[in-house]
Structure 1
Amino acid sequence: MFDSRHIKTFHTVVTAGSYSAAARVLGYTQPAVTQQMKALERAVGTPLFTRVGRRMRLTEAGEALARHAGIILESIAAAQRQMSSLTRLRAGRVRVCAFPSAGATLVPEALARLSAEHPGVRVELQEGEPPDSLGRLVRGECDITLAFTYPGLHEQVPAELAEIPLFEDQLTVLLPAGHALARRRAVKLADLAGERWIAGCLRCRANLLHECAEQGFAPDIAFTTNDNLVVQSLVAEGLGVAMMPGLVLSFLRHDRITGRALDPASRRKVAAYVLREHLRIPATALVLDEVRAAAARRVGC
């Protein structure tokens, strides 16, 4: 195993032409340079220099090492510059996996501020619904996951993940604009027992089934889609009703639907998740701070 200090001294001896010249360049004593070169030769297992009169000449092994020394030192310097940039938040890559409505709201706002203040931090965005998105985080396929949970489902978060709560997202019932219940300020699920339903992702569908069961009926699910625009379009055409989070309605609302609060109120919890040991990575912590700030601004609106 080579010592990088010895490689630096060797490179200086080669470029300066002698031990004494290298000592002057490095600010060492000549005996210190001599000791380092002897240590390097022991590590290599063969002499690197030979004397011809008063001049030093590289051996074949010395010439081979000389060809690599500059490259080795530049690689070390490049690594040091990169580590410095990462630890000082000038650079870094953070992979974020977000469910669609968070990807359309929280993430763009957070990244706009991040890119303005820390342009060297690169954020890559993936789309994924829980629980698959949490699995990606555990497998190392992303660095931060934005996901949601429904309190009534008692969903388990993997023990190796840290959970950073962001806000609670109010659930809304979507009705066609002319629906008889659209005149009410809030709607009881039991009043929709006879309707056809449009369900979303697996976790949202499970919550719909759970909440309807709590009200004593099983919903007639006629359509299932992860596309929020498709859900709203189906509702607008009178093909069914749906349960949708307020986060979606904050940026996407069909003009022929009506949203009504549930009675009693129902909410999902939105949070960011990260592997516990990654909380200490500066770029990851910075992205989390910006997402938290974006969520706080949304709640304060």
Structure 2
Amino acid sequence: MLSRRELKLLRAMHTLGTVTAAAASIDMTQPAASAMLKDLEIRLGVALFSREKRRLRMTAQGRTLMPEVLNALAALESADRLANDMRHGTVARLVIGAVAIAASSLLPAALARVRAAHPSVAVTVRAGTALEIIDMAVEHRVDLGIIIGKVADNHRVTSLTLAPLSLYAVMREDHPWAGRVGLSLTDMADQTIIVLADALPAGSATRAAFDAQGVPYRTMVEVMQSSAACALAAEGLGVAIVESLGAHYATRVGLVAHKLVALENSALTLVWAPGHVLSAPAICFRDGVLEKVAANM
């Protein structure tokens, strides 16, 4: 049987890749961590790591074991949280992961619905990128996650497409084009544009949309959040190109948003771990998100 400390060390090795970093993350010394890994391999009778250029690499056996390690540790940590909640009079907890723009635009109404139906449920919201939230779902660190991006059918999470996404041009009310009808990507060719970074699904989809229409992609500023792009547009620094959730946020803060083009390979998506049975609060949250999306997108 693996101890919790061994599980934590294996997870840290999986995440950080070196014994030194993994040991430090769980308050162990490097020699103690190395000894624990060696003892663990002897007890299991398989090599979990191979040494390549003074660095440990996880073997095929180690990679095969990791999903079970992550699930076991997540279950233990979930039990700890539940026990703590029970001590404080709370009988359940709902953990939601969301990309930043979804957290500000979709979560409030959906969580209000959960609170009304399940007043004793505690809620934790975790932010991250789409890939980080998918990892959280796989490792059972969130019950549900909201991401921007489509999930392949053979991916490691179960998914539900909430809504297709489009690109919008966001500008101040005093911008010369604020009242114009029928803006397109071609119109953006001569504008100072603020875009989402290529590292984000919506950012890479933006670049792809420009390329597909043969429009020069001349960006002045790249940011990691739609809200940041909108804030820069509000200061008159240019026209922000954001996805549908960013456009919804923009109109809430007094900016003007014009639809430019529908995105073919990007969507607002709900994800959760395969085989995970959603609790009543999680189903209530899911339905709240669907209702909010139907009303605003």
Tell me the TM-score normalised to structure 2 length.
0.59
Question: What residue is the counterpart of 1:126 in the other structure?
Answer: 126
Q: Deviations over 1:172-213 (max 9, x none)?
A: 112354545444312121222233321225222211110111
Change (3 A) 1:225 1:162: same
Question: What residue is the counterpart of 2:148 in the other structure?
Answer: 148
- Please state how far the C-alpha of 1:106 moved relative to its aligned partner: 2.0
8 Å Cα contact 1:185/1:261 also seen in 2: no
Cα distance between partner residues in 2 of 1:124 and 1:237? 33
- For the aligned residue pairs, the C-alpha RMSD in angstroms reads 3.2
**2:288 corresponds to 1:290:** yes
8 Å Cα contact 2:149/2:202 also seen in 1: no
Unaligned runs of 5+ in 1: 1-78
Q: Deviations over 1:211-244 (max 9, x none)?
A: 1111213412221223444322322444332212
Q: Deviations over 1:236-272 (max 9, x none)?
A: 44433221233334344454x532221x444742121
Change (3 A) 1:133 1:157: farther
- Please state how far the C-alpha of 1:297 moved relative to its aligned partner: 4.1
**Bigger Rg, structure 1 or 2:** 1
1:163-178 aligned within 5 A: 163-178=159-174
Cα distance between partner residues in 1 of 2:170 and 2:237? 12
- Please state how far the C-alpha of 1:94 moved relative to its aligned partner: 2.0
Unaligned runs of 5+ in 2: 1-78
Question: What residue is the counterpart of 1:185 in the other structure?
Answer: 181
Return the letter of the residue paired with 1:143.
D
Cα distance between partner residues in 2 of 1:119 and 1:183? 45
Percent identical among aligned pairs is 22
Change (3 A) 1:219 1:167: same
Return the letter of the residue paired with 1:125.
V
1:85-234 aligned within 5 A: 91-149=91-149, 156=152, 159-201=155-197, 202-234=200-232
Tell me the TM-score normalised to structure 1 length.
0.59
Cα distance between partner residues in 2 of 1:280 and 1:205? 31
Change (3 A) 1:198 1:291: same
- Please state how far the C-alpha of 1:289 moved relative to its aligned partner: 3.1
Cα distance between partner residues in 2 of 1:187 and 1:96? 36
